[in-house]
Amino acid sequence: MDDMTMMTNMPSTTTATTSATQAASTGMSMGGGMGGGMGGGNGCRISMLWNWNTIDSCFLSSTWRIRSAGMFAGSCIGVILLTMSLEFLRRLVKEYDRYLIRKRTIGTAIAASPNNSKGSSEEGHASTSTVLAPCATPLGFRPNVFEQAGRALLHMVQFAVAYFIMLLAMYYNGYIIFCIFIGAYIGAFIFQWETLGLGFKRVKGTMEGIKSLAQSFFDREQKFLDPPRDYEYDAIELCVFPDSTKHGGGSDPNDPKLASPTLLSFSQEGLCAWLSSVKRDSALRLPEATLRLVRIRRELDVSLVISRASFTQIFDLMKADPSIKYMICRDYDGFHEYHADGFRLTRFMGTSLYALVWTFDPTSMTTTALFLDRRRQSFPKFVDVLWEFRSCIYTPSLLGFVSCYFLLLFFDHETGGWELETIRHVERQTGFGPHPTGWRGLEPLDLVEKFHINQLTSWLQAVTEVAGNVGSRARHQRTSLALLETIREERENGKHYGISGHALGRYQDSIRAIEEAVPSVERHMSTYIDFLVYLKDRAERLSSVLFALLTHEDADASIGLAAASKRDSSSMKTVAIMTMAFLPATFFAALFAMPSLQWDRPSVVQDNFWIYWAFTVPTTVAVFLVWLLITERKWICKKGADFYGVVKKTSV
């Protein structure tokens, strides 16, 4: 036994001498002062300093006494397992919390899914909602009583195990402490081995959140109108069938194998069946490329003339990205593109005339599009332009290019037909502009001409509307320029969207043909934008002139009103002077005619003369009081309220 260990068996009832004797008889050694050791009952070796004790070491209780090397090895293994159990409990706590989150997320997804009770025709949309719903789950939730009781129980067990490990470490036994380290390492290696998050996983979750929010906005805000029973939807279909005699190269616009556009009409039920069908030629061959375009009318309140179920089914057949739905329900303008996993390449082009949504399937080279007609019957004219570029049907950029060129032609025609003519008409009438009819303001004869205020107001309203339209069209052209730049980058970057084989060559030929036409269209657009800027400047300057003329006419009217008021004031002044001239005579005539005054008697004033004053004075006072109440009513009410407040405060 070393000199730092004490073995004691000292009853509390013995004296110091007896204790010293017993200590000596049991071999207790102090070793020269404070050795830092302490003994336990039944011969346990316990030390408060670092030690390597094995046999006769005790831990936590006298019953846990090491009597052999095998027992000490088993104790070390037990300590390792105990420490591993602590790591297991830590993992169990995290897994239980994750279980609660999954449980709450699944419940929220089922409750929030708008299609959880629909039939198999909407399975695609229902599955999309189920995937996206977790992103719409609230950021946190409060567990119920039973769930929190389970969490508290796990925490208590974890705390208890950690406390026992701490007590074991406080025996400062090197073997036990190293066993604790080994158990912590093995436990963490086994139970903390889990999947770690990466950056792209977070991005994916963010995109799913965007899709979920877009779907939520669409379900909540988009309105639908069920069409009449005999209502039909306009649609077109362009198909290119293979030609065994032709290999490679691009499609000829005049090639007879390219069928003319088939103008179709469908009921609401037949529309979905048509979009899900596959067209074949007389030889039962599948087409090399297909383009299908459906027109759906949109009302001024942004409601779509189609049932919600049919629109959802069409959207699912297109496999369009749900993020586009936000653009639809918010009536957005501009160009937007989405290409997420699980969905086809989806593009959106919004204008003041229509919104165009289309997807592209690279396996079948099929483009499916929705033409949401917003304000005018522009669908037939759009189809005419589309037909002229039908040879580029192999690329998803065809509809974007056609939309840009159609907007350019349509707006250019309308600008020259209404906006420019309106500006020229007002300029001719007012003599202001780049081509005036005379030098207005320098010829005194022209100053004689007057404009009616209503006419000036009508012109000002029309010119202001021209300025607004011109600004909107310039914005649309800038959007088209951005889309054309995207098409050019598509060619330069070599994008092929998963197209392979023979179709890849056709796609490259189509995108090359469109890219060759882009510079010409861009120059046309730039010229048109410059003209719109110039026309807007003319409209704004003309608005200033019309406002000045309107102000001038208003000033003339004000001068006329002032002259009339002056004439009325002169008339009233004349009346007042005449009244003043006759007032004394009238007063004395009435006074001398009073029967209370007898001028032919010695006593002119009679006894009943007081009656006159008894009626006259109170009546005069009453008239002035009524006049004061009418003219100073607010002041009197305010003073009365203040007085009432003072009296009430005094009484309290």
- Mind spelling out the 3-state secondary structure of 81-132? HHHHHHHHHHHHHHHHHHHHHHHHHHHHHHHHCCCCCCCHHHHHHHHHHHHH
Query: Dihedrals φ, ψ of 66, to 5°?
Result: -80, 115
Question: Does 54 fall in a domain?
Answer: no
Whether 395 has a pLDDT exceeding 70, the answer reads: yes
Coil, helix or strand at residue 403: helix
pLDDT at 348: 94
pLDDT at 134: 38
Question: Does 67 fall in a domain?
Answer: no
Shared domain check, 433 and 555: yes
Question: Does 168 fall in a domain?
Answer: yes
Q: Which residues are registered as beta bridge partners of 359?
A: 346, 368
Least confident stretch, 137-141, 171-175, 201-205, 287-291 = 201-205
Question: Does 250 fall in a domain?
Answer: yes
Shared domain check, 172 and 213: no
Whether 352 has a pLDDT exceeding 50, the answer reads: yes
Please state, in angstroms and rounded to a whole number, the distance separating the CA atoms of residues 211 and 129: 9
pLDDT in tens, 541-577: 888 888 887 787 667 667 777 777 777 777 788 888 8
Tokens 């208003």 — which residue?
A: 554
Please state, in angstroms and rounded to a whole number, the distance separating the CA atoms of residues 358 and 422: 37
* 651, two tokens: 């009484």
Tokens 């090197």 — which residue?
A: 174
Please state, in angstroms and rounded to a whole number, the distance separating the CA atoms of residues 44 and 252: 102
* 452, two tokens: 């009616």
How many structural domains compose the chain?
5
pLDDT at 88: 94
pLDDT at 444: 42
Please state, in angstroms and rounded to a whole number, the distance separating the CA atoms of residues 634 and 549: 42
* 299, two tokens: 């009302």
Please state, in angstroms and rounded to a whole number, the distance separating the CA atoms of residues 264 and 271: 10
- Which residues are within 8 A (CB) of 538 and not within 5 positions of it... i.e. 6 or more apart? 423, 427, 433, 434
pLDDT at 576: 82
Shared domain check, 339 and 253: yes
pLDDT level of residue 426 (50, 70, 90 thresholds) = confident
* 563, two tokens: 């002259």
**C-alpha dihedral (279, 312, 365, 360), degrees to nearest 10:** 160
Whether 605 has a pLDDT exceeding 90, the answer reads: no
Please state, in angstroms and rounded to a whole number, the distance separating the CA atoms of residues 374 and 384: 18
Coil, helix or strand at residue 520: helix
Containing 356, the helix (H) or strand (E) segment is: strand 354-361
* Stronger pLDDT, 286 or 208, i.e. the higher one: 286
- Amino acid 430 reads T
Whether 614 has a pLDDT exceeding 60, the answer reads: yes
pLDDT at 652: 58
pLDDT level of residue 593 (50, 70, 90 thresholds) = confident
- The residue segments making up the domain with residue 546 are 408-568
Closest CA to 409 of 390, 381, 387: 381
pLDDT at 578: 84
* 61, two tokens: 């209780």
- Contact (Cβ atoms closer than 8 angstroms) between residue 75 and residue 66: yes
Whether 509 has a pLDDT exceeding 80, the answer reads: yes
pLDDT level of residue 615 (50, 70, 90 thresholds) = confident
Shared domain check, 310 and 243: yes
Range picked from 40-44, 517-521, 624-628 for highest mean pLDDT: 517-521
Shared domain check, 505 and 582: no
- Contact (Cβ atoms closer than 8 angstroms) between residue 615 and residue 623: no
Least confident stretch, 179-183, 503-507, 633-637 = 633-637
pLDDT in tens, 107-120: 654 554 444 444 33
Handedness of CA 569, 570, 575, 581 (dihedral sign): positive
Ordered DSSP codes for 119-170: -GGGHHHHHHHHHHGGGGS-S-----HHHHHHHHHHHHHHHHHHHHHHHHHT
Beta strand pairing call for 354-361 and 289-297: unpaired
* Stronger pLDDT, 446 or 130, i.e. the higher one: 446
- Mean pLDDT, rounded, of the chain: 78
- Which residues are within 8 A (CB) of 490 and not within 5 positions of it... i.e. 6 or more apart? 397, 511
Shared domain check, 424 and 450: yes
Containing 289, the helix (H) or strand (E) segment is: strand 289-297
Whether 164 has a pLDDT exceeding 50, the answer reads: yes
Q: Across 539-588, where does the E strand assignment appear?
A: none
* 56, two tokens: 């006769």
pLDDT in tens, 304-329: 999 999 999 999 999 999 999 999 99
Residue that is last in its domain, among 551, 568, 585: 568
Share of the chain above pLDDT 90, in %: 30
Q: Quick one: 496 exposed, middle or buried, by C-beta within 10 A (0-12, 13-18, 19+)? A: middle
Shared domain check, 190 and 240: no
* Stronger pLDDT, 416 or 256, i.e. the higher one: 416
Question: Does 52 fall in a domain?
Answer: no
pLDDT level of residue 442 (50, 70, 90 thresholds) = very low
* Stronger pLDDT, 127 or 85, i.e. the higher one: 85
Shared domain check, 604 and 551: no
Q: Quick one: 83 exposed, middle or buried, by C-beta within 10 A (0-12, 13-18, 19+)? A: buried
pLDDT at 199: 47
Containing 541, the helix (H) or strand (E) segment is: helix 502-592
Question: Does 497 fall in a domain?
Answer: yes
Q: What is the pTM of this model?
A: 0.56
- Amino acid 82 reads L
Closest CA to 328 of 306, 356, 308: 356
Please state, in angstroms and rounded to a whole number, the distance separating the CA atoms of residues 36 and 320: 78
pLDDT in tens, 209-218: 788 888 998 9
Residue that is last in its domain, among 547, 568, 589: 568
Q: Quick one: 96 exposed, middle or buried, by C-beta within 10 A (0-12, 13-18, 19+)? A: middle
Neighbours of 106 (CB within 10 A): 14
pLDDT level of residue 632 (50, 70, 90 thresholds) = confident
Shared domain check, 536 and 450: yes
Closest CA to 472 of 414, 400, 385, 543: 414
- Contact (Cβ atoms closer than 8 angstroms) between residue 345 and residue 497: yes
Whether 368 has a pLDDT exceeding 50, the answer reads: yes
Question: Does 646 fall in a domain?
Answer: no
Q: CA dist 629 to 253, 624, 636, 640, 645, Å?
A: 90, 9, 8, 13, 21
Shared domain check, 280 and 361: yes
Shared domain check, 242 and 122: no
Question: Does 652 fall in a domain?
Answer: no
Q: CA dist 237 to 15, 231, 322, 385, 386, Å?
A: 114, 20, 24, 14, 11
Shared domain check, 250 and 126: no
Handedness of CA 84, 90, 93, 96 (dihedral sign): negative
Please name the residue ranges forming H helices in 257-299: 268-276
For the residues 595-612, what does the mean pLDDT come to?
72
pLDDT level of residue 435 (50, 70, 90 thresholds) = low
* Stronger pLDDT, 442 or 285, i.e. the higher one: 285
- Contact (Cβ atoms closer than 8 angstroms) between residue 80 and residue 168: no
What number of CA atoms fall less than 13 Å from residue 444's CA on the CB side?
Answer: 0
Residue that is last in its domain, among 331, 358, 393: 393
* 442, two tokens: 């320098």
